[in-house]
């Protein structure tokens, strides 16, 4: 079966920066509903369209096509006393950004009584290389199409 609208694609992926440093790799295969449902980046869907199991490719995405440019307005300084105890650099906190969207803030620095948080995605502003390998392609169920995403990450390991 070929990858087309309303197929569920299971793939393994590795994300690295343009220097080839590995930033992220899939421990378990990831399944997504193909066909413009916003479950993965458009450029990745375009690269996979019409392909079959066993297809492997590397797609380079500019920041605008991946996690966006860095937004310095998302860097905030908050008083340490307003934090739960044990705040550490690299820790994350769920917060709500302007517009009511939930965002994950990463603690980037603790400076005396102040904590500096960054609401940007860790990969924001980076050009990323996605190495993809297609493990499985199946027709989506009517429920999956109705809900706009794949159900369950079941799939067989190779």
pLDDT tens for residues 125-142? Answer: 999 999 999 999 999 999
Q: What is the mean pLDDT of residues 7-18?
A: 96
The structure's pTM equals 0.79
Nearest to 58 by CA among 17, 9, 27: 17
Class of residue 120 by CB neighbours under 10 A (exposed 0-12, middle 13-18, buried 19+): buried
pLDDT band at 154 (very low <50, low <70, confident <90, very high): very low
Report how far apart the first and last C-alpha atoms of the chain are (Å, whole number): 18
Residue 119 to residue 71: CA distance in whole angstroms: 8
**155, pLDDT greater than 50:** no
SS3 31: strand
pLDDT band at 101 (very low <50, low <70, confident <90, very high): confident
Q: Which residues contact 13 (CB under 8 A, 6 or more apart)?
A: 25, 26, 30, 130, 131, 132, 133
Query: For 53-57, 114-118, 148-152, which range has the lowest pLDDT when averaged over its residues?
Result: 148-152
Residue 126 to residue 26: CA distance in whole angstroms: 19
Up-side HSE of residue 83: CA atoms within 13 Å toward CB? 22
Tens of pLDDT, residue by residue over 84-93, are 777 789 888 8
């Amino acid at each position: 079966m070929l990858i087309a609208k309303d197929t569920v694609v299971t793939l393994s992926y590795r994300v690295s920066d343009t220097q080839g440093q590995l930033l992220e790799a899939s421990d378990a295969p990831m399944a997504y509903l193909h066909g413009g449902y916003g479950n993965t980046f458009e450029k990745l869907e375009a690269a996979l369209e019409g392909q079959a199991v066993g297809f492997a490719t590397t797609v380079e995405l500019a920041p605008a096509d991946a996690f966006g440019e860095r937004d310095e307005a998302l860097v905030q300084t908050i008083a340490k006393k307003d934090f739960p105890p044990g705040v550490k650099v690299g820790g994350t906190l769920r917060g709500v950004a302007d517009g009511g969207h939930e965002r994950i803030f990463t603690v980037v620095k603790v400076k005396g009584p102040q904590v500096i948080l960054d609401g940007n995605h860790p990969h924001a502003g980076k050009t990323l290389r996605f190495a993809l390998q297609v493990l499985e392609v199946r027709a989506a169920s009517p429920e999956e199409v109705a809900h706009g995403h794949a159900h369950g990450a079941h799939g067989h390991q190779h």
